[in-house]
C-alpha cells in the first residue's frame, strides 16, 4: 500500500521547510521513490515555481516533474471557495495526487501557507483535504509567542480540528521556539495535547534560518547592487536605520545588521564601511541606500579602492517605507543556499528523536480508500475502456438527469429505453444540455427492429420452461426483459434498472437467461459503504435470505473479488454473534464451516471468522478478543450470516453515520445487471452505472 504524510502548519512562518527537509532526508534512506505534493501553492502563475517544492526537488534530486506536484494556484482555489465549490477543489486535488502517487513509494504532502486574509478557512480546508486523501497528519506550529499557554492553545485547536474531521494526527512539532519557552514547552506540550500516542517534539529558534540573505532582500525589493556582489549570501540578523550623526549612530550597530540609510548621506556610508572593517565594531551584513540615490563620482572613486566591502545596494523609495518593507520580508530556505539547508538538517537531527520518527514513517500509510478517492478511481477506470450501459427506465426523470451528468463525465456510453418522443420532451423540459441523439442512443422497445429477434431468442432460451412464442413476444416488450436481452446479445455491456420496478422484476430476466458465471452457483450482492474516512464492503444485504455454509463461502469469495476489482484491499470478516471459539450453536457453526470452506477454496484471501462486528472494526476490541488477527480491527469486507442481519445492519450504519450506501451491486452473473432502489437519488444512479461499467470491463 502507498504511504503518505500530510504536513500542515497552524499559522504563517512555522518553518515547514526545515521539517520537510528533515523528513524527506529520512525517507530517502528507505526508498528513492519519494514525491512531494502541495494541494495549493501561493505562486502567482504556473511559471513561478513554489519555493518548498523547488527546494526539495532540487536539493534531493527527486525524480518527479514539477507540473505533477501541485493542484491549484492559491488565487484559483480562493476563487472556487468563494463560489462554494470546495468539493471541486478536493476532487481535483485527489486527481492530481493519485497521478503522482502512482510514481512513488511515499508522498510528502505539504499544506497551504496561511499568508492571506482567507487563512481562517485554511485549517479546515487542509483537514478536509487530508481526510479525503486518507493521509496521516503532522502538525507544525511555532513557539516564539510570549506565553507558553498561547502556543499550547494554538496547537490544541489545530489538533482538535484535524481529529474531529476524521484525520489521524501522528505527530506535533513546535518549531522556532524561543529560548525562554523551550524547556517549559517541551515538558508541558504532550500533556496539553492529552494524547500519549502522538509524537511531540519542540525545536529551538535559530536566527540564521529566519534571517534573510542579502540576495533575498535584493530580489524582493528589486534593489541595484553597487558593491560586494560576492557577499550576497550574508544573513541580515538585524536592521539599523541610520538617521543620526556619525558619532551617534555607530553605537547602534549590531553583528550582521543591515544598515538602511538615505542614499545622499555620504558621511554615514563611508563611516559604516570603515566600522565594518574595524575590529572595534560589529561586521555588517550589508548597506542599503534609499531614495534610488547612488554616491557621487568622488565617493565612488574612494569606495572602489577599499577592500573587503560589504554588499552595498541602492533601492527606490524613502527610507522609512523601505525599512518597513525590508523588516517584513519573508526569508526562505532555497536550494541555492546550502548553508541554511545544512543547518536545518542539523537542527532536525539534533532535537528530534529520529528513531521514533523513523518508526512512525515506516508505520504510517494512506488509510483505506476514502469515499472521494473511491469515486475518483471508479471514474478513472470507467473512462479507460468505456462500456455501453442500457437504462430501461427512461420514463423516470432521475434516470435522464443521471444520464446527462454521466455523459458530461465521459465515463460510459448510454442506451436509454422509452417512448422517444416523450424522452425528448422530458429532456427539453429538464434543460439537459448533454443528453441528445448524438451523445446517447434512444430506443423504444415497442417499435424497435430488434423486437422480433429478441422474442425468438427468448423463446428458444425459455421454451423448456413452457414459454410459448406469443408469451415471449409479450415479455420482450417489457423494458426489463428488453434491456436484459440487449446485454445477453452483446448489444449492451450491462444494465441498470430498478428506479421504477421491484428488485424481483429487475433481476428475474438475468437469472433466467444471463445466468451465473462458471463455478458460481449463487448470485449475491454487496453494498459499498462510503463512510466518512473509508469505504467498506458489505455482503450479502439484498439477495439471499438464509444462505447455507457453502453459499456463504461463495458469497465471501465473490465479495472479496468484487472489492479488489474496485480498489478495496479485501480483509474479510465472517460475521456472527460469537468471536473465535467463544460460542457455539447452529448459526455460529454455519459461519465457522463457511470460513473453513472459503479458506480451502481461496487460501490467497485474508479471511477469518466467526467474529462479531465490534471485533472486526475496533482494534481495541480485536486486541482483546482476537489478538494477532490479520483481519480483526481492520476488516474491509464484512460477510453477514443472513439477509435479516445484513440488510438491517447496512441501513442502521447508513442512517446513524450518514454513510453513503452504493448498491446493491450484484455479483456472480455472466454479465452485469444491477438493481436500484425505487427511492434512489440521481447520484445513486450515477454510482451504480459507473460500477456496472467497470464490472463489464472485468467480464
3-state secondary structure 41-52: ECCCCCCCCCHH
Place of cell 488565487: 75
Cβ neighbourhood burial of 468 (10 Å; 0-12, 13-18, 19+): exposed
Cα-based distances in Å from 494 to 484, 669, 671: 8, 11, 6
Q: How far is CA 695 from the centre of its chain?
A: 25
- In 626-664, alpha helices (H): 643-657
| CA dihedral for 328, 341, 155, 532, sign (positive or negative) | positive
What is the Cα–Cα distance from 215 to 84, expressed in whole angstroms?
41
Q: Among 3.90.230.10, 3.40.190.10, 3.40.50.10750, 3.90.1280.20, what is the CATH number of 516-668?
A: 3.40.50.10750
Cα-based distances in Å from 587 to 548, 574, 593, 610, 640: 10, 12, 10, 10, 11
- 368-513 CATH: 3.40.50.10950
- Number of Cβ within a 10 Å radius of residue 652: 10
- Give the per-residue pLDDT at 116: 57
End-to-end CA distance of the chain: 26
Q: What is the mean pLDDT of residues 43-55?
A: 86
Q: How confident is the model at residue 31 (pLDDT cuts 50, 70, 90)?
A: confident
pTM given for the model: 0.68
Pairing relation of β-strands 413-417 and 388-391?
A: parallel
The grid coordinates of residue 572 equal 474479510
What is the Cα–Cα distance from 676 to 673, expressed in whole angstroms?
10
Fold of 214-327: 3.40.1390
Q: Average pLDDT, whole number, for the chain?
A: 90
Positions of E strands within 88-237 = 106-110, 137-142, 169-177, 199-204, 224-227
The grid coordinates of residue 566 equal 474496485
The angle formed by the CA atoms of residues 75, 433 and 422, to the nearest 5 degrees, is 155
What is the Cα–Cα distance from 446 to 373, expressed in whole angstroms?
41
- Give the per-residue pLDDT at 369: 65
For residue 575, the 8-state DSSP code is E
Name the region of 580 (left: φ>0; alpha: ψ -120 to 50; beta: rest): left
For 451, how many CA atoms within 13 A lie in the half-sphere containing its CB? 15
What is the Cα–Cα distance from 465 to 459, expressed in whole angstroms?
10
For residue 210, which of 361, 332, 123 has the smallest C-alpha distance? Answer: 332
Question: CATH homologous superfamily for 3-204+337-367?
Answer: P-loop containing nucleotide triphosphate hydrolases (3.40.50.300)
Q: How confident is the model at residue 207 (pLDDT cuts 50, 70, 90)?
A: confident
Q: How confident is the model at residue 195 (pLDDT cuts 50, 70, 90)?
A: low
List strands edge to edge, sheet with 224-227.
Answer: 224-227, 312-314, 284-290, 257-262, 238-241
Domain boundaries, the chain: 3-204+337-367, 214-327, 368-513, 516-668
What is the Cα–Cα distance from 259 to 226, expressed in whole angstroms?
15
Q: What is the mean pLDDT of residues 628-647?
A: 94
3-state secondary structure (DSSP) of residue 4: strand
Positions of E strands within 242-298 = 257-262, 284-290
- Give the per-residue pLDDT at 689: 95
Report yes or no: 20 and 50 within 8 Å, Cβ to Cβ. no
432 pLDDT more than 80: yes
Place of cell 418522443: 421
Q: How confident is the model at residue 408 (pLDDT cuts 50, 70, 90)?
A: confident
- Write the pLDDT tens digit of every residue in 331-376: 888 888 888 999 999 999 999 998 888 888 887 765 556 777 788 8
Report yes or no: 512 and 519 within 8 Å, Cβ to Cβ. no
663 pLDDT more than 80: yes
Place of cell 439477509: 643
Cα-based distances in Å from 428 to 396, 397, 413, 425, 522: 14, 11, 20, 5, 43
- Give the per-residue pLDDT at 112: 85
- Give the per-residue pLDDT at 114: 62
Q: Is the peptide bond before 394 cis (omega within 30 degrees of 0)?
A: no
CATH topology match: 3-204+337-367 vs 214-327: no
Burial code of 343-353, b = ≥16 C-beta within 10 A, e = fewer? bbbebbeebbe
The angle formed by the CA atoms of residues 161, 163 and 190, to the nearest 5 degrees, is 95
Pairing relation of β-strands 441-443 and 257-262?
A: unpaired
The grid coordinates of residue 537 equal 464492503
533 pLDDT more than 90: no
What is the Cα–Cα distance from 56 to 62, expressed in whole angstroms?
7
460 pLDDT more than 70: yes
193-197, 218-222, 234-238, 487-491: which has the minimum mean pLDDT?
Answer: 193-197
Amino acid at each position: 500500500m502507498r504511504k503518505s504524510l500530510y504536513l500542515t502548519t497552524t499559522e504563517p512562518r512555522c518553518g515547514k521547510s526545515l521539517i520537510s527537509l528533515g523528513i524527506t532526508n529520512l525517507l530517502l534512506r528507505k526508498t528513492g521513490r519519494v514525491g512531494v505534493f502541495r494541494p495549493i501553492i501561493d505562486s502567482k502563475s504556473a511559471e513561478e515555481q513554489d519555493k518548498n517544492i523547488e527546494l526539495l526537488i532540487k536539493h534531493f534530486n527527486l525524480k518527479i516533474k514539477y507540473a505533477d506536484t501541485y493542484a491549484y494556484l492559491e488565487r484559483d482555489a480562493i476563487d472556487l471557495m468563494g463560489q462554494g465549490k470546495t468539493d471541486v477543489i478536493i476532487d481535483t486535488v485527489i486527481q492530481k495526487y493519485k497521478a503522482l502517487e502512482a510514481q512513488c513509494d511515499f508522498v510528502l504532502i505539504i499544506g497551504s501557507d496561511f499568508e492571506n486574509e482567507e487563512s481562517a478557512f485554511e485549517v479546515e480546508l487542509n483537514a478536509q483535504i487530508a481526510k479525503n486523501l486518507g493521509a496521516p497528519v503532522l502538525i507544525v506550529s511555532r513557539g516564539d509567542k510570549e506565553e507558553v499557554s498561547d502556543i499550547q492553545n494554538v496547537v490544541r485547536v489545530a489538533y482538535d480540528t484535524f481529529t474531529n474531521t476524521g484525520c489521524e494526527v501522528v505527530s506535533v512539532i513546535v518549531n522556532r521556539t524561543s529560548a525562554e519557552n523551550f524547556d517549559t514547552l517541551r515538558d508541558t506540550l504532550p500533556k496539553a495535547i492529552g494524547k500519549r500516542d502522538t509524537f511531540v517534539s519542540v525545536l529551538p529558534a535559530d536566527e540564521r534560518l529566519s534571517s534573510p540573505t542579502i540576495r533575498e532582500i535584493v530580489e524582493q525589493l528589486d534593489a541595484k547592487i553597487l558593491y560586494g556582489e560576492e557577499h550576497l549570501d550574508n544573513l541580515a540578523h538585524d536592521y539599523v536605520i541610520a538617521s543620526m550623526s556619525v558619532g551617534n549612530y555607530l553605537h547602534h550597530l549590531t553583528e550582521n545588521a543591515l544598515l538602511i540609510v538615505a542614499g545622499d548621506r555620504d558621511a554615514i556610508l563611508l563611516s559604516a564601511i570603515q566600522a565594518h572593517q574595524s575590529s572595534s565594531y560589529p561586521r555588517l551584513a550589508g548597506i542599503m541606500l534609499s531614495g534610488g540615490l547612488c554616491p557621487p563620482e568622488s565617493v565612488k572613486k574612494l569606495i572602489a579602492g577599499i577592500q573587503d566591502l560589504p554588499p552595498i545596494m541602492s533601492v527606490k523609495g524613502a527610507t522609512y517605507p523601505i525599512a518597513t518593507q525590508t523588516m517584513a520580508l519573508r526569508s526562505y530556505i532555497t536550494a541555492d543556499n546550502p548553508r541554511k539547508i545544512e543547518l536545518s538538517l542539523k537542527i532536525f537531527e539534533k532535537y528530534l528523536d529520529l528513531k521514533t520518527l523513523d518508526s512512525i514513517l515506516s508505520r504510517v500509510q494512506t488509510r483505506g480508500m476514502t469515499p472521494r478517492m473511491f469515486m475518483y478511481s471508479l471514474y478513472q477506470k470507467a473512462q479507460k475502456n468505456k462500456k455501453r450501459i442500457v437504462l430501461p427506465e427512461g420514463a423516470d426523470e432521475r434516470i435522464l438527469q443521471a444520464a446527462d451528468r454521466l455523459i458530461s463525465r465521459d465515463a460510459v456510453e448510454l442506451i436509454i429505453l422509452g417512448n422517444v418522443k416523450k424522452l425528448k420532451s422530458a429532456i427539453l423540459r429538464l434543460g439537459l444540455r448533454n443528453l441528445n441523439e448524438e451523445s446517447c442512443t434512444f430506443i423504444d422497445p415497442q417499435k424497435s427492429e430488434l423486437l422480433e429477434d429478441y422474442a425468438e431468442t427468448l423463446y428458444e432460451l425459455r421454451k423448456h420452461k413452457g414459454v410459448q412464442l406469443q408469451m415471449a413476444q409479450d415479455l420482450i416488450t417489457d423494458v426489463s426483459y428488453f434491456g436484459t436481452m440487449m446485454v445477453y446479445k452483446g448489444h449492451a455491456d450491462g444494465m441498470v434498472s430498478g428506479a421504477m420496478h421491484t428488485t424481483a422484476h429487475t433481476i428475474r430476466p438475468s437469472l433466467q437467461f444471463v445466468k451465473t458465471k462458471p463455478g458460481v452457483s449463487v448470485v449475491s450482492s454487496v453494498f459499498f459503504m462510503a463512510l466518512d474516512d473509508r469505504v467498506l464492503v458489505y455482503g450479502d444485504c439484498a439477495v439471499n435470505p438464509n444462505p447455507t455454509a457453502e453459499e456463504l463461502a461463495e458469497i465471501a469469495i465473490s465479495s472479496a473479488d468484487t472489492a479488489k476489482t474496485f480498489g478495496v484491499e479485501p480483509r474479510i470478516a465472517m460475521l456472527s454473534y460469537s468471536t473465535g471459539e467463544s460460542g457455539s450453536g447452529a448459526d455460529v457453526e454455519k459461519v465457522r464451516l463457511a470460513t473453513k470452506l472459503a479458506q480451502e477454496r481461496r487460501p490467497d484471501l485474508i479471511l477469518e471468522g466467526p467474529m462479531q462486528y465490534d471485533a472486526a472494526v475496533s482494534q481495541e476490541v480485536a486486541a482483546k478478543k482476537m489478538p494477532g488477527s490479520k483481519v480483526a480491527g481492520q476488516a474491509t469486507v464484512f460477510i453477514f450470516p443472513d439477509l435479516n442481519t445484513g440488510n438491517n445492519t447496512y441501513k442502521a450504519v447508513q442512517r446513524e453515520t450518514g454513510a453513503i450506501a452504493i448498491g446493491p451491486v450484484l455479483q456472480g452473473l455472466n454479465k452485469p445487471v444491477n438493481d436500484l432502489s425505487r427511492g434512489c437519488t440521481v447520484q445513486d444512479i450515477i454510482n451504480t452505472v459507473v460500477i456496472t461499467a467497470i464490472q463489464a470491463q472485468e467480464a
